[in-house]
Structure 1
């Protein structure tokens, strides 16, 4: 229906975990996950933020995280800080996969550094990719690696995923819980935000705790953005934004991308994909009421979360758009939410 520009996906993690299958994962599709090049074309995926994410070393800790999230209340344990020396090789490998995706696509997918490039690609039917870092573990407190990744194309960064970094603290996965779960930014984190502002790297507030959010808001001279977060007033997950936080984002001219993760959408906090559109639309209604129709977009979390069965994968985005239309959103508003609000936010953040 309408082109979609998306706030967050984790396909680079899939490529990192199975590099020997990357041609099948990206170019032809292997029948798994939420994204691949053919399905992105079919689903009207015009572009988005592609996350470098350092996986947590807890795969063999004996805890059934999926089962815990199916039975709220829950508070999931998080691993300790991952040092830059361990994170950097992983981040480098994911960045290389991102560059390979561009080369292998034969012109169908391009890394972008400006909104002008995105608009040109949309006019030509080319998918745009923004290199994003979800958690800055790979960057040391000297920030040298930030400049290296910026030269490679990095234009968006979240100081933390949910575990701590040398820059600050994220929220644990908890329900019910507020995002007020710990200390704010470190001095290194404050330097990171200032340097991102100087380099025109968008700072992503998804995953950061409330005190860290407030520190970024006090320091940053750019619009405040949460690429893949929802409304705490609807679902009381630690990962969702309170009305006070939404007011701060609105005052900055910023934006929130609706996260499709079921545990952040469902009012009962469960992870089950067995849900209708009611809670999805309730989050959109609330975000629109608090932020305004020019400041809400989509932030799927494809390949990084369980998503509603009505969406399924990237080819289900037209179904979400139809649900918005059926709910009473006009075509102009659905187009804004689908892509235009992201492009205008990036113009305010990056410049032309």
Structure 2
């Protein structure tokens, strides 16, 4: 079951390649030697593309998956990364995406029409996304340059703080109400992204920052890879009140495949059945509506259910959705159309 192609809200392939965890050549991403994402697995699984994150890793360790197997945990976050360091890494990862396009492995999409054309042509559709805006300077010249290169989506923070705001820690159990909201620079960033038509991603942002953007932004509210706090009380998940604000803005949420945000016990355990994903999906649809939910896998950046494991395993998800009663119309919305709908409302030249 590889149809319809899945257009996905989040992956960390660029970080894998940057860290030399995946080779960009024929035996890596462009063959079958990738981790969770490569072209061979994409063909097997019916993966059409999605948001490719530029993410600046920290030199210190956040912890590991074993730390998230406890009954409760609170992993200390690293400090903000200086702009001079972050900008170099971000530009290197943007260059990786540009190189992949030049090699014909994917197509960087700046409009919804670009995405539709890539999917129709059987070419992986890539939206340049930034997860954590440390690489954006206060004058936002870097934002303008990256926009010209194709940046169309930006999260002001990953979990660690930036000059723009504060993220949520990896804490369970916890609410997302973990600290202060946007800074003055963060408010300016919201206005500039609105003016350019860059989508603002609320995943990883704490609750105070969420409500700041909700009050400031002229665009639909979007969380590219987040789940329901009512089912898994993790700081990374969204409360029903947040979901209602996203619904009222005509935004959307991408269902995160990372198992710690799916399981009731918050454990990073791959032995997690797909029905946990379906429970979150049902909750999101109940509170957002069928037009405002898609997928935000976090492939190449997370432990996902073992019955899926990589993008080659996406047919198992489609089969589970069918068995769950998802019809053709809703399947099309979840796999592609809801993302294209919200991007059409957000991007200036869609």
Match of 1:209? 206
Name the structure 2 match of 1:317. 314
Corresponding position of 2:89: 90
Alignment partner of 1:341 is 2:338: yes
Distance 2:92 2:5 in 1: 30
> Which residue number in structure 2 is paired with residue 77 of structure 1?
76
Preserved contact between residue 73 and residue 171 of structure 2 (Cα < 8 Å): yes
Match for residue 27 of structure 1?
Answer: 30
Deviates further, 113-122 or 257-266? 113-122
Query: Which of 130, 149, 173 is the matching residue for 1:133?
Result: 130
Q: Which of 217, 220, 223 is the aligned partner of 2:220? A: 223
In the alignment, structure 1 residue 51 sits paired with structure 2 residue 53: yes
Change (3 A) 1:81 1:6: same
Whether the 8 Å contact between 1:112 and 1:129 is mirrored in structure 2 is yes
Runs of 4+ in 1 over 4 A off after TM superposition: none
In 2: Cα distance, 1:230 partner to 1:57 partner = 28
* Offset, 1:325: 1.1
Please say if residues 22 and 35 of structure 2, whose CA atoms lie closer than 8 Å, have aligned partners that are also in contact: no
What TM-score, normalized by structure 2, do the two folds share?
0.96
Alignment of 1:112-151 (within 5 A): 112-151=109-148
Secondary structure of the equivalent of 1:98? helix
- The residue aligned with 2:243 is 246
Alignment match, 2:289: 292
Three-state SS of the structure 2 residue aligned to 1:141 is: coil
CA contact (8 A) 1:288 1:296 kept: yes
RMSD, matched Cα: 1.2
2-side partners of 1:201 and 1:278: how far apart? 34
How big is the shift at 1:196?
0.2
Could you list the runs of 5+ residues in structure 2 that have no partner in the other structure? Answer: none
Q: CA deviation at 1:151?
A: 0.9
Secondary structure of the structure 2 residue equivalent to 1:174: strand
Distance in 2 separating the partners of 1:20 and 1:328: 37
How far did residue 127 of structure 1 move?
Answer: 1.4
- Is this contact kept in 2: 1:179–1:238, CA < 8 A? yes
Whole-angstrom distance in 1 between the partners of 2:72 and 2:296? 25
Q: What's the offset of the Cα at 1:64? A: 4.7
Following superposition, the deviation at residue 309 of structure 1 comes to 0.6
Measure how far apart 1:277 and its partner are: 2.0
Among 192, 213, 216, the residue aligned to 1:195: 192
Counterpart Cα distance in 2 of 1:196 and 1:126: 28
Change (3 A) 1:159 1:79: same
